[in-house]
Amino acid sequence: MNNIIDGIKISTEIRKDIKQIINETKITPALAVIQVGDNKASSIYIKNKKKACEEVGIRFEHIKFNDTISEELVINEIKRLNNDISINGILVQLPLPLGFDEGKIINTISPVKDVDGLTYQNVGNLVLENDCLVPCTPLGVMELLKAYNVRLSGKNVCLVGRSNLVGKPLIQLLLRNDATLSICHSKSLDIKNHTKQADVLIVAAGHPNLITKDMVKDGVVIIDVGINKEGNLLRGDVDFDGVSKKASLITPVPGGVGPMTVACLLKNVVKAYQIQN
């Protein structure tokens, strides 16, 4: 199928560029990842981040706490990393165990080291269209659209999902690119009415096979951000087999947006280094 958006290929190109920048400019970026507790999925994500960092020449520090640690000690560790000039990026692996104040912990991170783009200052700057560190998955979505020359200006773009991690930052990035935007979510009464109009459909709902072929028009561009485990299989939010027959471009799951998230994290670490130096 020649309508597949290849996230592995594009992310590999981004990683190559980052490695080249690091080698040629002799910079020494470093990322610290804080993990609280033993969430299995989190451990896998951290392993992938570590491997990607090492491949391109970013120093990686993994700081792991038991879930019995106090919130105060986690905050103190973030403050220590804020003051450590050898660390350029700080990331708290989410979700945190129950009882931790996610907002308070994230907002302890210095905005110039906030490579997840989740501090209130970075969120505000994104809304105001100031230069800032942007959340990695939304950034990855935009990089994919750019790589495949998908024009957004004046196009009908439908976004399904409004999470703080993906949906809300994407709203800002799409508006910045002059898209005409409709947003659907769990309380929307007639999603199909909106998805059917879309020239570009981005789905980040966390609901397997939510979008079926009767809900899209011919020639639509589809970005499927969903990752849902069903047994040993990963499925997106889009019924790929049906919808791909109508789409002019579509991301697979896995191999679409996923690899872009890690590549854009590396981009953010290098950008954070450059801001700080």
pLDDT digits (tens, 9 = 90+) for 227-246: 998 888 889 999 999 999 99
| pLDDT average, residue stretch 76-98 | 97
Q: Which residues form the catalytic set? A: 49, 93, 116
Task: List pLDDT tens digits, range 108-120.
Answer: 999 999 999 999 9
Peptide bond into 95 cis (omega under 30): yes
The pLDDT of residue 276: 97
Number of neighbouring beta carbons within 10 Å of residue 125: 18
pTM, whole model, 2 decimals? 0.95
Task: List pLDDT tens digits, range 118-158.
Answer: 999 999 999 999 999 999 999 999 999 999 999 999 999 99
CATH (one of 3.40.1530.20, 3.40.50.10860, 3.20.20.70, 3.30.460.80) for 26-111: 3.40.50.10860
- Report whether pLDDT(29) > 90: yes
CATH (one of 3.40.1010.10, 2.60.120.10, 1.20.950.20, 3.40.50.720) for 136-258: 3.40.50.720
Distance CA 135, CA 142 (A): 11
Number of neighbouring beta carbons within 10 Å of residue 212: 13
The pLDDT of residue 230: 85
- Report whether pLDDT(10) > 80: yes
Give the domain ranges of the chain: 26-111, 136-258
pLDDT > 90: what percent of the chain? 97
